[in-house]
Amino acid sequence: MPKIDLHQHPPYFYADYKSSHSRGPNQDPIDFSCLTALNPSEVVAEFAGGLRNRFAVGDLDHDLIRNAQQGGIPLGERMVISGQVLNQWGKPESGVLIEVWQANASGRYAHKDDGHDVPLDPNFIGVGRCITDKEGRYRFYTIKPGAYPWKNHPNAWRPQHIHFSLISESIADRLVTQMYFPGDPLLDYDPIFDAVPDSAKEHLISTFDLSVTEADFALGYHFDIVLAGANATPVDPEHG
């Protein structure tokens, strides 16, 4: 992935997002140029070795509605999420591995550390993956996630969101971000979203798309991801 423009992304430390102070880097970046000079072939292979088109996914990995069914279907509003992965010049990026994870319709993750007292869904694990095609396009089927409380500040609730992780040419080329939904009233109160510069916030919000909607089955949302440049999709400050 091309070098990112840090002005489009949230700071490592954001006062209102309390855990950023323990998760952000507290040491200077490591300069790998000395390693490159000593043994360039190994360093290039380690940090820039080609991974494109080496990923493999299962037939249902992109379908979170069906990939964990235990004799029933997941509860909640069914959705289709589709879009393109583009580079900073607007060209499609093919062969990119996209992984998603999310809460269920009640706002609970299928994870042992999630103690939210709402039901788990036995037919929904909330994880999926796919690979972009030659036009950089991807498509997921899923359930709209619920909002959930968190302990950042009094009466704190996270907006409905889906986490995205992208890996392109190498493991070092990784973008982690979150996708939000239009019109969510909790966006105005969320310090994670608020940490993103105002000029870039729109790049994190999906748009309803009737052309993606599948009749009698699921509503469609469009979400493009730009890897670098002035229109880059902002990184998730928790994982950035």
CA angle at residue 72 from 68 to 73, to 5 degrees? 70
Residue 109 falls in the annotated catalytic set: yes
Name the catalytic one among 148, 180, 203, 221.
148
Name the catalytic one among 9, 62, 161, 203.
161
> Terminal CA-to-CA distance of the chain, rounded, Å?
14
Residue 158 falls in the annotated catalytic set: yes
Is residue 88 within 8 A of residue 133, CB to CB? The reply is no
Residue 221 falls in the annotated catalytic set: no
Residue 180 falls in the annotated catalytic set: no
Name the catalytic one among 62, 163, 203, 221.
163
β-bridge partners, 95: none
Name the catalytic one among 9, 14, 108, 109.
109
Name the catalytic one among 141, 158, 203, 221.
158
Is residue 85 within 8 A of residue 99, CB to CB? The reply is no
Please identify every residue annotated as catalytic: 109, 148, 158, 161, 163
